[in-house]
Each structure stands twice: as C-alpha cells, then as structure tokens.
Structure 1
Amino acid sequence: MIKQSLSIILVLFTLNSQASERVTFKAEDGVEVVADLHMAHPKTAPMIVLFHQAGWSRGEYLEIAPTLNRLGYNCLAVDLRSGNLVNGVRNETNKNARALMRETQYVDAYQDIAAAVEYSRAMTSNKLILWGSSYSSALVIKYAGDNPGKAQAVLSFSPGEYFRSQGKPGDWIKQSTVNINCPVFIASARNEIANWQAIYDAISASGKMNFTPSETLGNHGSSALWVRQTDHKEYWEAVVAFLKSLEPPRDTEE
C-alpha cells in the first residue's frame, strides 16, 4: 500500500509542484540566512527543516520538498553558508556570509542550523523534524544531541565525522549522540556504512532506523531521492516508513 501511494505521489510531483516562498532570518553572527518555505498545510502539520550537502544550496530540495508536502508535511529548505550551487539555485547565505567576511567552513554552518530551527519552531504546533545531507546530516545529529527536546526526529543522509580538518576531534559527532532523545533515521550509499556505523551505534534513543539499498550501490546524500536515481523509490519507501513510525497510533474499531 505504501509503495502504491508513493508512486502516485511521485507522479503528481511532475504535474503540480507546490509553490514556495523565499524567507530570511538572521544567524547569531548577523548573517542573513535564506530559505524556501514550502507551507502547503496549516501550522498544525509537522515541519521538516531541510539542509543541503557540501558545495550545494537549497536547490537540492526542489523536487523533494513538494513530495514531502504531499505526504502531509510543511518544509523549510535552507541555504547554509557552506555551499554554492545546485539545480540552478545559487546559495544566497554563502554570498551573505562572504559579504560580511564570515568563515564558511562546514562547522560555521552550525549556527545557521540553529537559526533555522528557531525560525521553524514558530511555524508549527506539531513535530519539528531535522533533515540533513552529507556534512549537514552530521550537523543535525549533533544539534539534536546538543539541544534535546528541540527536534522530535532526525533524518540524516550520509553522515560522518567530516570535521577533523576543521579542528574538531574524530568523534565530534558521536560525542553529541549521548543526549539524543528522539528517533533518528540514517541512510546512505552501501559503501558509506563505515562512515556512520559508530555514530548510529552510539544513539540510544528508541525508534532509530537505518537504510541502504539492497540491490544497488546507492547514492550520497539526499539526492538519493531524486527521480533521476534508478533506486530512488527504495529510498523513499524507507523514508515514508520512518515518518509513519513517528505518527501516534490510530484507534482501531472493534
């Protein structure tokens, strides 16, 4: 049933994309963060905050966010200051950070994530879900551990300890898993499992799940969900299963 519903949703994406609104908010150091708000539902719907991979922009979610809208979620796709261009969308937060002569390494984007969370918390009375890709997928795990209670779930696509060259210890992300108190979903290509296995094993919160494709090599980051990927449906099925696990149980009629 999930497979059939998902196939219909993915087809509908190409026929009727939900319009987004460009929004801005300030990071702690004054940099203006730019994002696309995909507000397809009232504030009573869950909100998913989407962060991109290295060298990219909020354009990573041009087709993913509308699909999530059709699954019942509002979304905020954020430009982090460490990034550039993808799918024709230029990273505006990176431009703003450089104009203020701020650093734009991976670790510097953590404050952009914090600002996006605070902005998004005001946009929902339901669950707030963090979603990251590559380096940002590691940062959302860290954020959830450093700030227990602010997120009700995390989806992390291809995380790892990517921050040694930026002065952080080799287990910087793993250290923050101790206080995670929400379900976490990790997915990646098959050859990336070693990058995140120790992080996943250290998460003690209930409801955690992981996924790698069974027949294909898979893909890096959230782009694994793009329709152009031959195994995108398998990734989507895993995502939908995780999101459904977050829903309260329904009363059954006798």
Structure 2
Amino acid sequence: MRIKVYIIICFFCMVSTILQAQKTITFFAADGLEITADVYDTDVESSKYMLLFHQAEYSRGEFQQIATRLIKIGFTCIAVDLRYGNEVNFVNNETAMRAKKGGFASSMIDCEKDIAAAISYVKTLDTKPRIFLMGSSFSASLCLKTANERNDIEAVIGFSPGEFFGAELSIEESIRGLQTPYFVGCPRSEHYYVLQLLSGTQSKKKIVFKPEGSDGLHGAKTLWWESATRDEFWLSLLFFLKDFK
C-alpha cells in the first residue's frame, strides 16, 4: 500500500512539474533540422536566458525539475532536444526522431548546430539577451567549447564534461584559454579527470565542484530531487549564480 501511495505522489509531482513548462516551441538549425524545446518563463523581469542541453540518449525532459527552480531566481529557461538523444522522464526527444526520419547527421558533435541554433533563437526574443549555457555530460563539453569560440556567452554551467568524441575532437584543446566564467560539477569519481580537462582554461570566475556526502550522479541529473547530493550541488551552483544580477 505504501509503495502505491508513493508512486501516486511521484506521478502527481511529475505532472505538476511538467505543467510548469509554459510552452513547447520549435526553431531550425543551420542544416534545416527542426528543433524542439520547452520554454519556462520567469515571473521576474529579466534578460537572463539559461539554455539547457541534455546528456546522451536523453531529452529536454532531463531539465523539468531543474528549470522550475531556475526560473525562481530570474532565468528564462529553454530546455532543448538535441539531435543525439532518446527519452527521459516520459519526454520523447522530438528532434532526434526528426533527425533520424529525415536522414540528418546526428552524432554528438553534430549537436553543436543545435546549440548554435538555440543561441540564435534567443536573440530573436530579446535585443540584449544575457545568455547562459547549461550542459550535461557530452553537451557540457560542447557548451564549454562553444563559449570559448564566441563572445556572447555570459557563463557556462557544465555537469560531468569529458572527452566523449574520440579522435574527432579534443575538448581539452578546444577549451584551452577559455575566459568565460564557468561552474563545473561532477561526481567525486570524475573530479581528477575533470580538473585535467579544465587545466588549460583561464577563467577568473570559476567553480569546480565535487560533493562531500556521496559520490554523486553523472550529468545534470545530480540536481534531481532523488539525487543524494542535490542539496550540495544546488548550494554551490546558486552561490555561483548569485553574482549575475
């Protein structure tokens, strides 16, 4: 009986979170692929936009809980379905399905086109947007790389970045010299590896966080309510974000 009650409570919590998504929109990447995203509007007057990119085999559903917390501190959140993905939290990756059906290139590296398209989309919403990128796993790596190649990104939040691209792309080299502020979080088991990855960056404002309570989860799901380390990660992340008024 207790298990049934727990399941029902979880279901209604999930539905309540889903309803927080103000609207689902689409825009187009440079190669013509239509990209799906969920927009979570903040009630606070703000020009800050947090673009949220999921980990491999996931969808924009990775950020249901995360976005509903970020909008409370003044960020309009846009959770994007990248072309490399599948499903999570009962949310299918519509972009990945279109990419497969249409024969679009859809490797992890090809998701750079989707990140660039999301940035361009934000610029149609606001004349002077303050753009923040949040990535999870492979997309965290691409967000750091993107920030190092552009001058219109205010900060990057990355969870569990790494070398996921083989000989095709070295993230350590691609982010060498990065000056954009960043927050990078990872499990304790990944910490040494992440420090090496970031060793060539030159950002003056940065936090590289590992939890103390337990190892932590890979990617942005370490912020989910069911994560044992969520409070530690949220506290450190909010401390980082407080300076971006």
The Cα offsets for residues 150-177 of structure 1, whole Å up to 9 and x where unpaired, read as: 210000000001100xx414xx212222
Structure 2 equivalent of residue 168 of structure 1: 168
How many residues matched? Answer: 230
Structure 1 equivalent of residue 68 of structure 2: 66
| Matches for 1:72-221 after TM superposition, within 5 Å | 72-124=74-126, 125-147=128-150, 149-164=151-166, 167-169=167-169, 172-221=170-219
Shift of 1:230: 1.8
SS of the counterpart of 2:116?
A: helix
Structure 1 equivalent of residue 4 of structure 2: none
The one-letter code sitting in structure 2 at the alignment partner of 1:217 is: D
Structure 2 equivalent of residue 251 of structure 1: none
Q: Structure 2 vs 1, CA of residues 66 and 195 (structure 1 numbering), >3 Å: closer, same or farther?
A: same
% identical aligned pairs: 35
* Distance in 2 between residues matched to 1:152 and 1:41, nearest whole Å: 21
Structure 2 equivalent of residue 230 of structure 1: 228
Q: Structure 2 vs 1, CA of residues 41 and 126 (structure 1 numbering), >3 Å: closer, same or farther?
A: farther
Equivalent pair of 2:50/2:76 in contact (CA under 8 Å): yes
* Distance in 2 between residues matched to 1:103 and 1:43, nearest whole Å: 38
Q: Structure 2 vs 1, CA of residues 227 and 220 (structure 1 numbering), >3 Å: closer, same or farther?
A: same
Equivalent pair of 1:188/1:219 in contact (CA under 8 Å): yes
Structure 2 equivalent of residue 50 of structure 1: 52
The one-letter code sitting in structure 1 at the alignment partner of 2:144 is: I
* Distance in 2 between residues matched to 1:182 and 1:127, nearest whole Å: 13
* Distance in 2 between residues matched to 1:244 and 1:121, nearest whole Å: 23
Under a length normalisation based on structure 2, what TM-score does the superposition of the two structures give?
0.88
RMSD of aligned C-alpha atoms? 1.8
Equivalent pair of 1:130/1:140 in contact (CA under 8 Å): yes
The Cα offsets for residues 187-238 of structure 1, whole Å up to 9 and x where unpaired, read as: 0111112332122221102101111101211111000000011221111001
